[in-house]
Amino acid sequence: MPPALAVRPWGCDQFGVKRSVLIPLTIAGLFGLLMAALLLPATFLFPGAGLPWRPVGDAAQHAVAQRFFIASDWGWPPLDIGLMGGLNLAFADGIPLLALPLKAVREWLPPGFHGIGLWYAIAWATLPPAAAWAFAGTGERRPLPLLCMAVAAVSMPAFIMRFGHAALCGHTVLWLGLGLYLRLVDEARPRKRGLWAGAVLLQAATLLIHPYLAVMTLALLAAVPATLLLRGRNFIGAALGMAAALAGVVGVMAAFGYLGAVGDGQRWYGAFALNLLSPIWPFRSFFLGGLVGTEIDATGHGGWEGYNWLGTGLILALFLVVLGHGRTALRGLRSHAGLVAVCLGLTLLAVSMRVGLGHAVLLDLGTPPAALEQFRASGRFFWPVGAAILLGVAAVLSRAGRTGTIALAALAVLQFIDAAPQRAAFSAWAAQRPDWRIDADRLRPAIAAATRVTLVPSWVCTSPDDHETREAILELLALISENPRPVNTMYAARWRVPPVCEPVAGAPAPGELRLTWRNGRWE
């Protein structure tokens, strides 16, 4: 075993990026930009008003929320969307981290601009260098292994296939969290205040992307004092740093209006869980995708949130590590026992109280604690576990001499090829241009002339099973968001004050445009 691995296992680079590492990090960033340019059309990246096509799905919700937020006056809390009655932007997944600076420069933005498409480009461009930086935390300095990590990480299926939900594509923060973990458990590093300051900033920024990601990065930071404790080292400083990161999260939640939010009251935890076969279920795999036709699911909800196929390259490399480098891997796992414990905890959280194996529920542990209902899409919590597996496999292979480096390169190549169907699905989704189902040309002048728009029925007055009406409401909101006017409704995952169904009565007020969904059309 190399002396560096024995003395400073998997964590020995300085916080300042050394010149030898800066070059591969730059190349990794350029690679990410190239991938974004190849996958995303210009009209997707820089949308505007008056287009002959409409946004769809969750991305439509995010775009609507951002447009209304950018057009609203500044308020308090800072994320309140005044034109939507004070709905918090974060509860409509509007990516506050990007929306806030866009709102600050709104006078220079083209009409109808929103940053949802731009966010996808940011996610793809930043993930490869973030993964390479995390890998450098293991002590790796050679350009080839670092670039292999960048390619393999941006080819992780769980990252690519989140394209339907913009904010949750921000897997860059997971790699930054892993990189901070490795540096913070480095016992040869005498001063870590700067790193913990960076950890606090990472937590604040991640919360302003999406709370699910913030929980994941917070868990990775919690692994720092846990690892030091299990090594028998002084963990008090790390525990204080972790407390500061947690305090930063609570502070941002309080300042930006996150506290007190509630969902729709339905009990969903366990419905969108990680199936035990998900990591090895090759849906949309280039090499093995012909074996399966859809995600694996045991709960009756499609298995989408639990999709976590690891990729052919990573699975083969994992077998190679277990069979040929088992002792080195075990030493690494023991040295990072706190991270292992956190990953096990995240996996249990992802699996949920209803343990699915294939198409059957293997074990049902009953009603979950109410606190877990905040994490109803629990299958997502395996994302950092998959990233940690890739990082650990790469660390073992990179220390196995020339053969290991060749194996790492093969991992990256196989992973990249295996993800081709996933990239194709993402690119096709970004390029779709569905026509408006409403008479957009007729409605645009009426919306522009109105002082307020009222939709009947509102979202909360519509049955969750009435998909046609809800899709029609979201489509009309997307049209209104091109030239935002105060509206009476919006789709959001959570609310500080849950809306109630109040039937609209009486004649429209002066300047009010009232639109009623009747017989499959807006009247």
Q: What is the pLDDT of residues 241-292, one digit of tens each?
A: 999 999 999 999 999 999 987 766 567 788 899 999 999 999 999 999 999 9
The pLDDT value given to residue 17:
57
Local confidence band at 10 (pLDDT 50, 70, 90 cut-offs): very low
Predicted confidence (pLDDT) at residue 4 exceeds the cutoff of 80: no
C-alpha distances (whole Å) from 432 to each of 112, 157, 427, 435, 439 are 19, 21, 9, 10, 19
Backbone φ and ψ for 295, nearest 5 degrees, come out as -65, 155
What 316-324 contacts at long range (C-beta under 8 Å, 24+ apart), as own/partner pairs, is 316/411, 316/414, 317/393, 317/394, 317/397, 317/407, 317/408, 317/410, 317/411, 318/389, 318/393, 320/397, 320/407, 321/393, 321/396, 321/397, 324/400
What proportion of the chain, given as a percentage, has pLDDT over 70?
Answer: 95
Is residue 139 within 8 Å of residue 10, measured between CB atoms?
yes
Helix (H) or strand (E) holding 361: strand 360-364
The pLDDT value given to residue 266:
65
**In the structure encoding, which two tokens stand for residue 512, read together?**
């009010």
Helix 467-480, helix 440-449: angle, nearest 10: 60
Is residue 275 within 8 Å of residue 357, measured between CB atoms?
yes
Is residue 268 within 8 Å of residue 376, measured between CB atoms?
yes
Predicted confidence (pLDDT) at residue 488 exceeds the cutoff of 80: yes
Mean pLDDT in residue range 230-243: 95
Is residue 66 within 8 Å of residue 117, measured between CB atoms?
no
The pLDDT value given to residue 264:
60
Mean pLDDT in residue range 161-172: 95
Unique residue bearing structure tokens 């081709």 = 420
**In the structure encoding, which two tokens stand for residue 144, read together?**
């080839």
Is residue 93 within 8 Å of residue 166, measured between CB atoms?
yes
The SS3 assignment for 30 reads: helix
**In the structure encoding, which two tokens stand for residue 440, read together?**
């957009």
The pLDDT value given to residue 301:
87
Q: Pairing between strand 80-81 and 87-88? A: antiparallel
For residue 463, count CB atoms less than 10 angstroms from its CB and return exposed for 0-12, middle for 13-18, buried for 19 or more: exposed
The pLDDT value given to residue 312:
98
Cα distance between residue 258 and residue 207, in whole Å: 10
Amino acid at 237: G
Cα distance between residue 12 and residue 3, in whole Å: 12
The pLDDT value given to residue 5:
40
Mean pLDDT in residue range 508-512: 93
Amino acid at 18: K
Cα distance between residue 236 and residue 229, in whole Å: 9
pLDDT in tens, 290-309: 999 999 999 998 899 999 99
Unique residue bearing structure tokens 């088992």 = 326
C-alpha distances (whole Å) from 276 to each of 244, 284, 330, 357, 446 are 35, 18, 23, 5, 52
Is residue 164 within 8 Å of residue 57, measured between CB atoms?
yes
Smallest Cα–Cα separation from 138: which of 26, 234, 2? 2
- Neighbouring CB atoms inside 10 A of 22's CB total 12
pLDDT in tens, 205-232: 999 999 999 999 999 999 999 999 999 9
The pLDDT value given to residue 320:
97
The pLDDT value given to residue 286:
98
Is residue 53 within 8 Å of residue 435, measured between CB atoms?
yes
pLDDT in tens, 82-112: 999 999 999 999 999 999 999 999 999 999 9
For residue 436, count CB atoms less than 10 angstroms from its CB and return exposed for 0-12, middle for 13-18, buried for 19 or more: middle
Instruction: Report the mean per-residue pLDDT for the chain.
Output: 92
pTM: 0.94
C-alpha distances (whole Å) from 170 to each of 93, 155, 297, 405 are 12, 14, 25, 29
Peptide bond into 77 cis (omega under 30): yes
Burial 79-117 (b: 16+ CB within 10 A, else e): bbbbbbebbbbbbbbbbbbbbbebbeeeeeeeebbbbbb
348 versus 59: the higher-pLDDT residue is: 348
Q: Which of 105-119, 163-177, 359-373, 416-430 has the lowest mean pLDDT?
A: 359-373
Is residue 65 within 8 Å of residue 89, measured between CB atoms?
yes
To the nearest 10°, report the CA torsion of 493, 497, 498, 504: -120
Helix (H) or strand (E) holding 213: helix 211-230
In the beta sheet, which residues pair with residue 456? Answer: 516
Cα distance between residue 63 and residue 81, in whole Å: 13
Cα distance between residue 64 and residue 358, in whole Å: 37
Unique residue bearing structure tokens 């790796």 = 140
The pLDDT value given to residue 19:
67
The pLDDT value given to residue 1:
35
